[in-house]
Amino acid sequence: MQDRMIARAKALLADGTVDRVMGWQKGEFAYDITPAVFRSPEALDRDFVFNDFAAANVSKYLVKESRKGGKILAFLKPCDSYSFAQLMKEHRVVRENVYIIGIPSWGKTDFEKIKDRGLSGIKEIKDNGADYFVATVYGDEVTVPKFEVMLDRCKDCKSKKIVVYDELLEEPNGEEVENHRFDEVAKLEAMTPDERFAFWRKELSRCIRCNACRNVCPACTCEKCVFDNRDSGVENKAAADSFEENLFHIIRAFHVAGRCTDCGECSRVCPQHIPLHLLNRKFIKDMNELYGDYQAGADPDTRPPMTDFRFDDCEPSVVYERGGAK
Amino acid sequence: MQRIGVFVCWCGSNIAGTVDVKQVAEMLKHEPGVVFSTDYQYMCSESGQNLIKDAIKEYDLTGVVVCSCSPRMHENTFRKAAASVGLNPYMVEIANIREQCSWIHKDMPVGTAKAVILGRAAVAKVHLNAPLTAGESPVAKRALVIGGGIAGIQTALDIAEAGFPVDIVEKSPTIGGKMAQLDKTFPTLDCAACILTPKMVEAAQQEKINIYAYSEVDSVKGFVGNFDVTIRRKARFVKEDLCTGCGLCTEKCPMKKVPNEFNCGMDNRSAIYIPFAQAVPKVATIDASYCIKKKTGKCGLCSTVCGVGAIDYDQKDEFIEQKYGAIVVATGFEPISVEKFDEFAYSQSPDVVTSLEYERLMNAAGPTSGTLLRPSDKQHPHTIVFVQCVGSRCDAKNEKGKQYCSKVCCMYTAKHAMLTREKYPDTDVYVFYIDVRTPGKNFDEFYRRAVEDYGVHYIKGMVGKVVPENGKLKVQASDLLANEQLHIDADMVVLAAAIEPDKSARPLATMLTASMDTNDFFTEAHPKLRPVESPTAGVFLSGMCQGPKDIPDTVSQASACAAKVIGLLSKDKLTGNPCVAHSDELLCNGCSSCEKVCPYGAITYADKEFRMPDRTTAVRRVAQVNPAVCQGCGACTVACPSGAMDLYGFSNQQIMAEVDAICK
Amino acid sequence: MQVENKEFKPLIVAFCCNWCSYAGADLAGTNRLNYPADVKIIRVPCSCRVNPLFILRAFQRGADGVIICGCHPGDCHYTTGNYYARRRMTLLFSMLDYLGIEKGRTRVEWVSAAEGQKFAETMNSFVETIRSLGENKRLEDLRCKTE
């Protein structure tokens, strides 16, 4: 697939359709792959990669890139396309400055899960179709089944559909997928408040306020984040105590409520492995249950639940009455 | 740093009784930025205000905190006082230490401590206040009166008299309202039609008044001075400008079995009809739900007989858009449905009637041409029982009725009893009452005449049950004064049904964003001091829509309401509320969240060029607020994720400063 | 434990919309209807002006309960403000519950300008709830507790 992507990118560069390409760039190791912009066929040949470790959602980069003038080619995976469509809805990207090729995704790999198998000093990972063949500097050679090390978010994939594109790399387009992504939220909801409190304290107390979740989030594209704004009254660069850990994550989840497409980048990049997506999914689950199903980014027109209402919406007291252990 | 003055009011003993005002002033003296702090007996009095003015000058104050009654009471007083000596009025904050402190707490130390905290919060807020200047907006010099009963007519006449154009919107085919259905009026017994119809004609002839009968208000947008109203002119299927009101069509119409609402359904009218002889406008209307032509396509008789070609079966609803400076609500009332009071057998016997039906039975233009005949057998009744307070003055647990007194029933029942005895001296008339309430000029005299001169039997007590039996109505009642049970064989029973606001009032209130009480009566801006204004600026209240009242009260209120409207319309410009939203373009993402939640459409977007840190420029979409349209609700401020939207007067920082001060 | 609870004086912040609930609070005062001094009212133009940040801020600074009062749905002075407030607060309260914060610490009540009685009753019952819940320990910034 990588070769076909490079070939297509070169063609579009050559015929002047685009003047640069948004994709993924090879790092020092096979698994550390970062988003990058390529401007020449040579650069594409040299650095462009697309493999199971190219998990990063590139849509957020297009907020700035699409405003720079010229036209940029972007390869969007299904979940990236939802984020992009949501950004279009919010007027954050200039659609006409982006040429989108939709690319399918069958799930990306969580490198941490490979490491968790006790492997260190990994020097090479070979893709043998269904399995990885991992070689380390210490001479270990291990075969790891791919499915076992897939990113959690991909196991819970909501859709293989590319919702916005100029062309598709592979026809036909994928479809929405049945999934169990709210199961974990439901499990938490079923706990007692004390258990939930203990759970989240344990998770959130590990937060080091590196801001990775915010910086990677395609919904967090504010010109200036309230947490960076001295005049907002809530500015804090580092969480000094447990309250601020809570505050940051509650407010972040609240700000992206109704806008979060559930792409899962926040949890993927968290160096402390905090399951941040469970906060966003809680809002999504609540909104689906209370105000009707809504998928951010799925279409350009539906009014997001947070800027909408019905006369017969439930009262906030519904929270006291609803399930969960007492 | 602000230089803040704190002024603690005693409000006589209202505040000083439970709050140690001296201590509050002393404690607040030590708050940061406070350079002057004092207390005084009545801050709102002229000398109190002078105290504030002098302190502003002497101490060069940049901010003022008045610890006093509710800001809803005197915020404006103190703002004006500050403005008169050159301090921006929006640098004044009120700490409500009366309604929300001294009046609800009994213990002096508790009240004092809370007053200090409320004062601190106000000081903290003033620190972040900025001088605000109100914008101005023009006033559309035209008034809309919704409802064409006596209240609406009187208000419209008075406004027109002052030279301003007025449109009356009336939902039924004619103006006149409930008063047109009445026979005589208390306490003078002059006939309702004789005093109402000249007013109706006057309204029709007054050049400044435009009557939209058979019309409804479809939508209201805008704000005081600038309402954009869409009026739906319902299709009459008769061209109003051609119809002469000759009535030939109503005579020829073959469909004559339509319950006549003007006579409370006690007789029938034709499908094309003119509600009553003195209707204004005197124009026929086709009732599409009964008209044979409209239902089956066959007939068309009215069109054939109409000499002027006024019939138009294809007429559509028409929409008129008009700008108004002021809107008067005069939607009136209706009697409650008495069917749920089954003990009085209203649904079981036609001889049990409501007072309004009785009114029609007495009226010369009514179904019996003014001869009192009981509906069942058209015989003259010899014993009539009047039941007072049907659905009025019920206790809160009784869901069938209203808790309030309907105010007019005692008097009209006395009127009915008196008129019946006068016309038919052989009739026995009983009135069962809880109390007889007759406050009003010549009211008690009137009631006493009914009892003393006309021999009406007034019995304190309630009717327990009415049972129709062998053409009679067996009335079971208790006489509380004699302490005995009474059994009366009556020919008719008349129920003084409670009155309630017209059903159209509730949706109208939503459209106008005017508040209502739990009974659906419109709320006045102040129960005593602003009785004819709604809390929603530019919306005024006339007549029964605000609460039960009789004709003299209604007309007084209607004229008072007109005076308020005239006051508004005679202004060329209105000073707006400067506490509006504003967007920080540097922070704005242009995401449209704010625009989606704005109820006034006050937010628009513009593409603006910004210099980036790397010296390049970028064009971004940013929100802009129209301060003349924004009403300052603040919905946008919370919808905005980046905090670019903020509200003057209630900024994020100000509210958080208050939170901090309270939680200190 | 019981005794301790009785002496506990909770700190309660009430956000009241200017048009209905603040007026309702005034009416409670005019009618001399008592409710505990623990309740401190902050006036906002509309319930939709209440940012979740304000509520969290109050908890951070040591509030034990936060109540938001607005016009009854359908009666908002600004037509629709309280409908947005209703959604926002529902979701925020649900999130707080999800994080294990006691449910009773937050509440929304619709109080009209005519409901002085309801205002006082609401505040009495809310204070009672907060008293039984005790001090807010789960959402409080320790730095702000220095006396």
CB contact under 8 A, B642 and A303: no
For domain B581-648, give the CATH number. Answer: 3.30.70.3270
Residue A202 φ/ψ region, left for φ over 0, alpha for ψ in the -120 to 50 degree band, beta for the rest: alpha
Q: Give residue C142's pLDDT band: very low, low, confident or very high (50, 70, 90).
A: low
Query: Mean per-residue pLDDT for B327-340?
Result: 96
Q: For residue range B213-272, what is the model confidence (pLDDT) as tens digits?
A: 999 999 998 888 999 999 999 999 999 999 999 999 999 999 999 999 999 999 999 999
Rounded to whole angstroms, the Cα distance separating B104 from B102 reads 6
Say which residue, A38 or C141, is predicted with more confidence.
A38
User: Residue B217: what residue type?
Assistant: V
Closest chain B residue to C23, measured at CA:
B72
For domain B143-234+317-332+502-569, give the CATH number. Answer: 3.50.50.60
Rounded to whole angstroms, the Cα distance separating B583 from B644 reads 5
Cβ atoms B2, B126 nearer than 8 A: yes
Q: Which chain C residues contact residue B128 at CB under 8 A?
A: none
Shortest CA gap C108–chain A (Å)? 7
Residue A65: strand, helix, or coil: helix
CB contact under 8 A, B659 and C58: yes
Amino acid C144: pLDDT: 57
Rounded to whole angstroms, the Cα distance separating B349 from B335 reads 19
Closest CB to B523: pick one of C25, C63, C113: C113
Cβ atoms B270, B231 nearer than 8 A: no
Listed in sequence order, the residues at least 6 apart from A227 whose beta carbon sits closer than 8 Å to its beta carbon are A211, A214, A234, A235, A236, A237, A248, A251
CB atoms within 10 A of CB B44: 17
CB atoms within 10 A of CB B269: 22
Query: Mean per-residue pLDDT for B380-397?
Result: 93
CATH of B334-500 given 3.50.50.60, 3.40.470.10, 3.40.50.800, 3.60.21.10 = 3.50.50.60
Residues B86-99, buried b or exposed e (16+ Cβ, 10 A)? ebbbbbbbbbbbbb
Shortest CA gap B91–chain A (Å)? 20
Q: Where are the beta strands (DSSP E) in B201-264?
A: 209-212, 215-223, 226-233, 258-259
Shortest CA gap C130–chain A (Å)? 14
Cβ atoms C44, C68 nearer than 8 A: no
Amino acid A325: pLDDT: 39
| H-state helical runs in B367-489 | 409-423, 443-452
CATH topology for the B4-128 domain = Rossmann fold (3.40.50)
Shortest CA gap C41–chain B (Å)? 8
Amino acid B259: pLDDT: 96
Q: Give residue C2's pLDDT band: very low, low, confident or very high (50, 70, 90).
A: very low
Q: Which chain B residues contact residue A94 at CB under 8 A?
A: none
pTM for the predicted model, two decimal places: 0.71
Amino acid B664: pLDDT: 81
CB atoms within 10 A of CB B387: 27
3-state DSSP of C13-80:
EEEEECCCHHHHHHHHHHCCCCCCCCEEEEEECCHHHCCHHHHHHHHHCCCCEEEEEECCCCCCCCCC
CB contact under 8 A, C43 and B71: yes
Amino acid C4: pLDDT: 47
**Domains (ranges, CATH) in chain C?**
2-138 (3.40.50)
Residue B383 φ/ψ region, left for φ over 0, alpha for ψ in the -120 to 50 degree band, beta for the rest: beta
CB contact under 8 A, C144 and B663: yes
CB contact under 8 A, A306 and B641: no
| H-state helical runs in B186-312 | 192-205, 248-252, 292-296, 301-305
CB contact under 8 A, A251 and C56: yes
Shortest CA gap A79–chain C (Å)? 25
Give the rounded percent of residues in chain C with a pLDDT score beyond 90.
75
Lowest pLDDT segment from B256-270, B306-320, B573-587: B573-587
Closest chain C residue to B535, measured at CA:
C19
CB contact under 8 A, B633 and C77: yes
Closest chain B residue to A309, measured at CA:
B597
Shortest CA gap B98–chain A (Å)? 31
Amino acid C146: pLDDT: 45
Cβ atoms C10, C131 nearer than 8 A: yes
B274: exposed, middle or buried (Cβ count in 10 Å: 0-12, 13-18, 19+): buried
Q: Which chain B residues contact residue A308 at CB under 8 A?
A: 596
Q: For residue range B468-498, what is the model confidence (pLDDT) as tens digits?
A: 999 999 999 999 999 999 999 999 999 999 9
Say if residue A172 is preceded by a cis peptide, omega within 30 of 0.
Answer: yes
Amino acid A239: pLDDT: 66
Q: What is the DSSP letter of A29?
A: S
- Predicted confidence (pLDDT) at residue B346 exceeds the cutoff of 50: yes
Task: Among A192, A250, A252, A259, pick the best mutation site for testing chain C contact (most C Cβ within 10 A).
Answer: A250
Give CA B356 to chain center in angstroms: 23
CB atoms within 10 A of CB A7: 12
Q: Which chain A residues contact residue C107 at CB under 8 A?
A: 316-317
Find residue B486's DSSP bridge partners: B477
Task: Among A260, A319, A322, A326, pick the best mutation site for testing chain C contact (most C Cβ within 10 A).
Answer: A319
Distances (CA, A) of B547 to B276, B541, B629: 28, 10, 31
Residue A42: strand, helix, or coil: helix
Sign of CA pseudo-dihedral A50, A53, A57, A62? negative
CB contact under 8 A, A243 and C97: no
Q: CATH 3.50.50.60 residue ranges in chain B?
A: 143-234+317-332+502-569, 334-500
Q: Show the tokens assigned to B114.
A: 């809370």
Cβ atoms B302, B515 nearer than 8 A: no
Closest CB to A92: pick one of B586, B589, B643: B589
Q: For residue range B604-660, what is the model confidence (pLDDT) as tens digits?
A: 899 998 887 788 888 889 999 988 778 899 999 999 999 999 999 999 999 999 999
Rounded to whole angstroms, the Cα distance separating A214 from A235 reads 14
Rounded to whole angstroms, the Cα distance separating B149 from B168 reads 10
List of long-range contacts for A110-115, beta carbons under 8 Å, 24+ apart? A110/A149, A110/A150, A110/A151, A110/A152, A110/A268, A111/A31, A111/A32, A111/A53, A111/A149, A112/A273, A113/A148, A113/A149, A113/A150, A114/A31, A114/A144, A114/A149
Say which residue, A107 or B92, is predicted with more confidence.
B92
The answer to whether residue B652 neighbours chain A at the CB level (below 8 Å) is yes
Residue A167: strand, helix, or coil: strand
Mean pLDDT of chain C: 89
Cβ atoms B631, B223 nearer than 8 A: yes
DSSP string, A198-214: HHHHHHHTT-----HHH
Shortest CA gap B512–chain A (Å)? 17
ipTM of this complex prediction, to 2 decimal places: 0.94
Listed in sequence order, the residues at least 6 apart from B579 whose beta carbon sits closer than 8 Å to its beta carbon are B90, B132, B632, B647, B648, B649, B650, C45
Closest CB to C37: pick one of B105, B535, B650: B105
Closest chain B residue to C11, measured at CA:
B663
CB contact under 8 A, C19 and B515: yes
What residues 585-604 of chain B have any CB closer than 8 A to a CB of chain A?
A: 586-593, 596-597
Find residue C23's DSSP bridge partners: none
Closest CB to B643: pick one of A90, A226, A256: A226
Give the rounded percent of residues in chain B with a pLDDT score beyond 70.
100
Closest chain B residue to A306, measured at CA:
B639
Q: Give residue C143's pLDDT band: very low, low, confident or very high (50, 70, 90).
A: low
Distances (CA, A) of B84 to B87, B95, B127, C94: 7, 21, 21, 50
Query: Mean per-residue pLDDT for B171-184?
Result: 96
CB contact under 8 A, A282 and C95: yes
Cβ atoms A151, A109 nearer than 8 A: yes
Give CA A276 to chain center in angstroms: 11
Shortest CA gap C100–chain B (Å)? 23
Query: Mean per-residue pLDDT for C118-136?
Result: 94
The answer to whether residue A217 neighbours chain B at the CB level (below 8 Å) is no
Q: Which chain A residues contact residue C96 at CB under 8 A?
A: 250
Task: List the chains bordering chain A where 3 or more Cβ pairs fall under 8 Å.
Answer: B, C
CB contact under 8 A, A319 and C97: yes
CB contact under 8 A, B638 and C74: no
Rounded to whole angstroms, the Cα distance separating B152 from B175 reads 9
Q: What is the pLDDT along chain A (326 residues), one digit of tens a residue?
A: 889 999 999 999 999 999 999 999 988 877 888 999 999 999 999 999 998 889 999 999 999 999 888 999 999 999 999 999 999 999 999 999 999 999 999 889 888 888 888 888 888 888 888 888 888 888 888 888 888 889 999 999 999 999 999 999 988 988 998 989 999 999 999 999 999 999 999 999 888 889 999 999 999 999 899 988 888 877 777 766 777 778 889 999 999 999 999 999 999 999 999 999 999 999 999 999 999 999 999 988 888 999 999 888 999 988 877 654 33
CB contact under 8 A, A241 and C142: yes
The two beta strands, A131-136 and A122-127, are: antiparallel
Query: Mean per-residue pLDDT for C7-12?
Result: 89
CB contact under 8 A, A224 and B641: no
Closest chain A residue to C69, measured at CA:
A316
The answer to whether residue C90 neighbours chain A at the CB level (below 8 Å) is yes
Residue A93: strand, helix, or coil: coil
Cβ atoms A174, A82 nearer than 8 A: no
Measured at the CA of B455, the angle between CA B450 and CA B460, to 5 degrees, comes to: 75
Q: Which chain A residues contact residue B590 at CB under 8 A?
A: 90-92
Q: Which chain B residues contact residue C29 at CB under 8 A?
A: 70, 98-101, 103-104
Task: Among B593, B608, B620, pick the best mutation site for testing chain A contact (most A Cβ within 10 A).
Answer: B593
Rounded to whole angstroms, the Cα distance separating A94 from B607 reads 12
Query: Mean per-residue pLDDT for B204-221?
Result: 96
Task: List the chains bordering chain C where 3 or more Cβ pairs fall under 8 Å.
Answer: A, B
